[in-house]
Amino acid sequence: MPRVTLGLLPMRDRDKDIAEQHRWVQQLEDLVHRAQSDGAMRLDVRADDIMHVLNVFTCHPDALLVPVAAKPMKYLHFMLDGMQTSVATPPPARHDTETA
Protein backbone atom coordinates (compact mmCIF):
# COMPACT_ATOMS: atom_id res chain seq x y z
CA MET A 1 0.00 0.00 0.00
CA PRO A 2 1.49 3.39 -0.90
CA ARG A 3 2.22 5.81 1.91
CA VAL A 4 0.04 8.88 2.02
CA THR A 5 0.82 12.00 3.97
CA LEU A 6 -1.98 13.60 5.94
CA GLY A 7 -1.71 16.69 3.75
CA LEU A 8 -2.77 14.72 0.67
CA LEU A 9 -5.88 13.19 2.21
CA PRO A 10 -9.33 14.70 1.78
CA MET A 11 -10.28 16.79 4.83
CA ARG A 12 -12.71 14.23 6.22
CA ASP A 13 -10.08 11.47 6.05
CA ARG A 14 -7.41 13.74 7.50
CA ASP A 15 -9.57 14.59 10.51
CA LYS A 16 -10.30 10.90 11.05
CA ASP A 17 -6.61 10.01 10.75
CA ILE A 18 -5.57 12.78 13.14
CA ALA A 19 -8.10 11.56 15.71
CA GLU A 20 -6.90 7.98 15.26
CA GLN A 21 -3.28 9.07 15.60
CA HIS A 22 -4.12 10.96 18.79
CA ARG A 23 -5.81 7.84 20.18
CA TRP A 24 -2.74 5.69 19.45
CA VAL A 25 -0.37 8.26 20.96
CA GLN A 26 -2.50 8.41 24.11
CA GLN A 27 -2.44 4.62 24.39
CA LEU A 28 1.35 4.60 23.98
CA GLU A 29 1.72 7.33 26.61
CA ASP A 30 -0.46 5.33 29.00
CA LEU A 31 1.62 2.21 28.34
CA VAL A 32 4.86 4.09 29.02
CA HIS A 33 3.48 5.55 32.27
CA ARG A 34 2.32 2.12 33.45
CA ALA A 35 5.67 0.53 32.63
CA GLN A 36 7.47 3.31 34.50
CA SER A 37 5.12 3.00 37.48
CA ASP A 38 5.81 -0.74 37.54
CA GLY A 39 9.56 -0.06 37.48
CA ALA A 40 10.00 -1.81 34.14
CA MET A 41 10.90 1.23 32.02
CA ARG A 42 13.48 3.94 32.46
CA LEU A 43 12.02 7.18 33.80
CA ASP A 44 13.75 9.25 31.11
CA VAL A 45 11.90 7.45 28.28
CA ARG A 46 8.88 9.21 26.81
CA ALA A 47 6.27 8.03 24.35
CA ASP A 48 7.72 10.27 21.66
CA ASP A 49 11.11 8.56 22.09
CA ILE A 50 9.49 5.30 21.10
CA MET A 51 7.66 6.96 18.23
CA HIS A 52 10.94 8.37 16.89
CA VAL A 53 12.56 4.93 16.97
CA LEU A 54 9.59 3.35 15.23
CA ASN A 55 9.53 6.17 12.69
CA VAL A 56 13.07 5.36 11.57
CA PHE A 57 12.25 1.68 11.14
CA THR A 58 8.89 2.12 9.43
CA CYS A 59 9.10 5.40 7.52
CA HIS A 60 12.79 5.60 6.65
CA PRO A 61 14.03 2.05 6.04
CA ASP A 62 16.29 3.35 3.27
CA ALA A 63 18.23 5.33 5.90
CA LEU A 64 19.16 2.18 7.83
CA LEU A 65 22.64 0.72 7.58
CA VAL A 66 22.77 -2.52 5.56
CA PRO A 67 23.21 -4.84 8.59
CA VAL A 68 20.30 -3.14 10.37
CA ALA A 69 18.08 -3.21 7.27
CA ALA A 70 18.80 -6.94 6.89
CA LYS A 71 17.58 -7.69 10.43
CA PRO A 72 15.46 -4.72 11.56
CA MET A 73 13.64 -6.61 14.33
CA LYS A 74 16.94 -7.58 15.96
CA TYR A 75 18.05 -3.95 16.20
CA LEU A 76 14.61 -2.70 17.18
CA HIS A 77 14.68 -5.17 20.08
CA PHE A 78 18.12 -3.90 21.10
CA MET A 79 16.81 -0.33 21.25
CA LEU A 80 13.61 -1.22 23.07
CA ASP A 81 15.48 -3.47 25.52
CA GLY A 82 17.70 -0.49 26.32
CA MET A 83 14.64 1.32 27.66
CA GLN A 84 14.26 -1.18 30.48
CA THR A 85 15.34 -0.19 33.97
CA SER A 86 17.27 -3.43 34.48
CA VAL A 87 19.87 -2.38 31.91
CA ALA A 88 19.57 1.36 32.36
CA THR A 89 22.64 3.51 32.14
CA PRO A 90 22.53 7.14 33.14
CA PRO A 91 21.14 9.45 30.45
CA PRO A 92 23.72 11.56 28.63
CA ALA A 93 24.75 14.86 30.14
CA ARG A 94 22.48 17.76 29.21
CA HIS A 95 24.94 19.27 26.73
CA ASP A 96 25.14 15.91 24.87
CA THR A 97 21.40 15.87 24.17
CA GLU A 98 21.03 19.40 22.85
CA THR A 99 20.93 19.94 19.12
CA ALA A 100 22.94 22.64 17.47
Report yes or no: 28 and 47 within 8 Å, Cβ to Cβ.
Answer: yes
pLDDT in tens, 33-90: 999 999 988 898 899 988 888 887 777 777 788 888 888 888 888 888 888 887 656 6
User: Predicted confidence band at 95 (pLDDT cuts at 50, 70, 90)?
Assistant: low
What pLDDT is attached to residue 31?
92
What pLDDT is attached to residue 27?
92
Greater pLDDT, 33 or 100? 33
What pLDDT is attached to residue 26?
92
> How many C-beta atoms lie closer than 10 Å to residue 99's C-beta?
3
Q: How far apart are CA 85 and CA 81, in angstroms?
A: 9
pTM score, whole prediction: 0.63
